[in-house]
Every structure is written in structure tokens, then in C-alpha cells.
Structure 1
Amino acid sequence: MVYDWNTCPKDVKDYIMDLKEGIKNVVGRDFVGFYIHGSLAMGGFNPRSSDIDVLVVVNNSMEVEKKKILAQLFLQYSNSPYPLEISFLNRVDLLDWRHPCPFELHYSEAWRKRFENDLSNGSNLCINENKNTDIDLAAHITITHHRGLCIEGEPIDKVFPPIPKAHYISSIVADYRDCLKNITEDPIYCSLNIIRVYWYLSEGVISSKLEAGNWGKGKLQERLRSTVSKAVDNYTGQENHDFNEEELVSLRNYLLERVEEILN
């Protein structure tokens, strides 16, 4: 069973609202807004496997001490029970858009060990005053414009700039290339994401992974449809199919040929 913001269980909404209030307590007057993108905004949220994707916008650069307090909050909240992916963006950087976009602070489960090490060792390898960039933010902001939700704060179109198409493509193609390499290790995410990129490049549709999978079941070659159907079933939790390497490589190569043809 998958959900969007309007249909998701109460505990999902409570989790997000509590997280938002915790963030506001730390950020204080610099808080501009709290925005959801990704599967929960687009109707493909599976409580058993999906991330909760959040962008937070602030008015000024964040102090290291505040970042440490937020890091503790994220370590407490993420995976309890929903994994969190969140980026803090400075409004100044959004007004002066550049790609890749700078961020003030980022957390996902891939960063958990780095956050834990900084907090336990008193180091600043991850939690520091440096401003890093993330190529993925062009995609996150584009999706926020098209399908995202403002949970609290200023409206999306008043906060986020329009993202040039070339920057969006650069962002999704970077993820697509990772998926080409990792499809046998992470078949569900990578299969659906490669299809999503192909759908956008061929028809201009900004979609969720689930929407792309459902499209692929009807549009891709018949020999590939059973693989796509298995990915969709696993993503939604309807079934738990196994994949063999041959079918995944076949799907990857089919999409690789068509995507590269469009890009070139």
C-alpha cells in the first residue's frame, strides 16, 4: 500500500509535524519554510521502505552549534521508524541560483556514521561551517516546484527559483549513471529511476518512481515488462519478487541505448 500526504497514516503526519517543530525550535527566527518532495508528495510513499524527503529554507548561514543540535535530532528521528533525507538551504543561495546548489546542512542515512563520529569525537569533518554543494538539489527543487508541498512557511514559488532545464537534466542524469552501475545491487530503486529518467527525456514528464514503473509496464518492450512489474510490486509491497542478473542487465541495456541516443 502506498500513500500521499493526504492519505498517509496519522503517525506519518505526526512524525513530520514533530520533526518540523523540532527544527523550528533550533532555527528560530531564521526559519523560512519546511517543504516535502519525493514519494510522499507524489503518491508513492511506502511506510515500510520509503524515505521522507524534506527541504528546509533558512534566512542566514547556520552556526555550527545549531548544526550539532540538528544532527542529534536527525539521529534520533531518522529510521524511527522512517528514514529521513533532508537538506537546509540558505535563501541567499536560492536568490543567486547556481548549479550545483550550495547547502547549509544535509542528512540522510548514508551520512549517519559521519554524524555520529563528529558528535562522539568532537570532530568537524561533516558538521562544520563549510558550504558544500549537491548536484541532486536541482532535481529536488524542480520536483518541489511541480509536485512538492509547503507544510509551513512561505509559498514554494516565492522561495525556490525556477530551475533551468539543463540543470535538472544534469541532476537526474548523474543519478541515472549511478543506477546503471548499481542495478543488480539495488534493482528496485535503480530500475524505476532509470525508467523515470527515460520518460522525462523522451516525453518531458516529471514523475515519481512508481508512476514511471506503471508507465513502463505499458510502454517498454514486452520482454521487459515482467521485470518492471516485479519492481513495481516490490516497491509497493504487494509482492516480494527475486530478480536475476540477466533480466536486470537486459532492462538496463535497453534503457541505456535509448537514453544515450536522446542525450547525444
Structure 2
Amino acid sequence: MNMENYFNKLTDTIRAITEENFLGIYIHGSWAMGGFNPDRSDVDLLVVVGNSLDIATQCRLAKFLLANSNDPYPIEISFLTQNQLKNWTHPCPYEFHYSEGWRQSFERELLTGQYGDINNDHKVDPDLAAHLTILNHRGICWEGPPIKDIFPVIPQSHYLSSILADYQDCLKNVEAEPVYCVLNLIRVYWYVKEEVISSKLEAGEYGLTSFPQEYKETIRKVIESYQGNRVREFHKEELTSIRDYIQSEVEKRVGGSSV
């Protein structure tokens, strides 16, 4: 797929739906950092609008994203107002969010006309601290004002809080989702050790060169699976071993009470 045409199509439709409220659209995540895998990665987007989105606009966005996410790539997208960015708090409030995890509830709400998830007055997302940090360091302005002119600098403590929440999930789920979780655990380890903001693939490559030899075969299998080169089988012992190693190293640097 021609990705320029893909992003232009998304931008044109989102601009048409939000009308004069539209200010800009920005790419973060694996596409921005050069680690996009067409068979595995989400398209990660942030949209800035001038003012709050009414329910009719949010429903039009929901219908558009339900029709276009997974065609061909899953979309994760958040809409924020200028005020939400200017008056930064963590976890950050937002106007509208879609990812594939919301598909069933959005479909149900559009059928019933009860918009608890689509139009929630108290929406906040701790992940936005990580998304905006990545955007500031590695992101792409597809259309709109330059990133530095519209997005705040995120305090390191907020970014760390955001990635540690995902880190905790990965500690629990490493056996169920070994590829995603091992790469994310390495990514958090690399940040707390050297303050490097990386993609999952970059984290895996770092692990291959920097981790003890006993973990490198597991990391190699994870990378091969992530890239789709080869489907690999993982054993419980190797996954819990690398998880425990990373957890020990992270807690040495952050403190057990923080993680």
C-alpha cells in the first residue's frame, strides 16, 4: 500500500468530519520510529482539535473508524483539544479515542444510541503521556502546526508512570503474549537504564547486543516472530526467566515500590 495515500485519505476524512475544528494530525508509534510491521503493527495517530467534539461528530468518527480500522491496518487514535494540551495533567483527558479494543462496545452503542464509551465526560488516558513523549522525540507532523508548537513537553515522571503501567501488564502476561511483552519489557528496561526512547524492534535489537548471553536466543526468537520471518515456539521457563531478570534490573533502578 502507498502509505502517503493511506495517511492522506485518513486525514481528508477526519478533517471533513471535524470541519473547522480540525487543527492537525500527527503520527507516533512504530511507523514514526521505523519499526512498522504491516502484519502486526497499529497505525498510531493523534489529532488536535480546537474545541470539544459534540456527540454527533464523535459518532461519525466512530462509524468511520469502525469501517476503516483493520482495512488494512488497525488504527489507534486519540483526539485532544488545544486546552487539554496547554493545561497538561497526567493522566491526560481527551475528547475521543478509538482502538480495536473498543470495537465491540462502539458497535453496540451505535446500535442502541447509548454512548457511555463513545461520549464519556470523564475520559482520561495515562498512555497519552507515553504517546506525546514519543511524538515529541520521534513523531511526524502529517498536517498542521509543528509538533513543538502545539504539544507540551511531558515531565519524565509522567512518561515513566505511563510506561510502567504497561510494564506491569507485561509482567503478568508474558506467557500469553510473549512477543509484545518481551519487547516492551526490554524497552522499559532500556529507558530506565539509559533514558532511551525506542520502538519495540529497536529494543529487541538492543537486547541482542546488551543482555546476558543466556537470554539472547529468546530475544532472537521474539524478534523473528515480530518481523514475521518465522513463527517460533516459546517455553514457559525462558519467558519467566527473562521477565524475572528484567524485573530485577528495573527495580534496582526505579525502586520496587514504584513498579
Give, in whole Å, the separation in 2 of the partners of 1:149 and 1:194.
Answer: 25
**TM-score under structure 1 length normalisation:** 0.95
**TM-score under structure 2 length normalisation:** 0.97
1:19 corresponds to 2:15: no
1:88 corresponds to 2:79: yes
Equivalence for 2:126 = 135
Equivalence for 1:124 = 115
Q: Match of 2:52, as an amino acid?
A: S
Percent of counterpart pairs with the same letter?
A: 49
Give, in whole Å, the separation in 2 of the partners of 1:210 and 1:120.
Answer: 39
Indicate conservation of the 8 Å contact 1:64/1:129, yes or no.
no
For the aligned residue pairs, the C-alpha RMSD in angstroms reads 0.9
Deviations 1:229-260 (A, max 9, x none): 11111111121111111110001000000111
1:76 corresponds to 2:67: yes
| 3-state SS of 2:23 partner | strand
How many angstroms does 1:129 deviate by? 5.0
For residue 254 of structure 1, the aligned residue among 226, 236, 245 is 245
Deviations 1:16-71 (A, max 9, x none): 21111110001111111100000000011011111000000101010000000000
1:204-219 counterparts in 2 under 5 A? Answer: 204-219=195-210
| 3-state SS of 1:82 partner | coil
Q: Match of 2:12, as an amino acid?
A: E
Equivalence for 1:44 = 35
Give, in whole Å, the separation in 1 of the partners of 2:120 and 2:101.
Answer: 20
Unpaired runs of at least 5, structure 1: 1-8
Equivalence for 1:5 = none
Equivalence for 1:6 = none
Give, in whole Å, the separation in 2 of the partners of 1:127 and 1:205.
Answer: 35
Indicate conservation of the 8 Å contact 1:104/1:131, yes or no.
no
Deviations 1:176-226 (A, max 9, x none): 001101111111110000000000100111100000000001111111001
Give, in whole Å, the separation in 2 of the partners of 1:20 and 1:131.
Answer: 26
| 3-state SS of 1:57 partner | strand
| 3-state SS of 2:158 partner | helix
Equivalence for 2:92 = 101
Deviations 1:66-89 (A, max 9, x none): 000000000000011100000001
Give, in whole Å, the separation in 2 of the partners of 1:13 and 1:131.
Answer: 35
1:195-206 counterparts in 2 under 5 A? Answer: 195-206=186-197
Query: How many corresponding residue pairs?
Result: 255
Change (3 A) 1:45 1:84: same
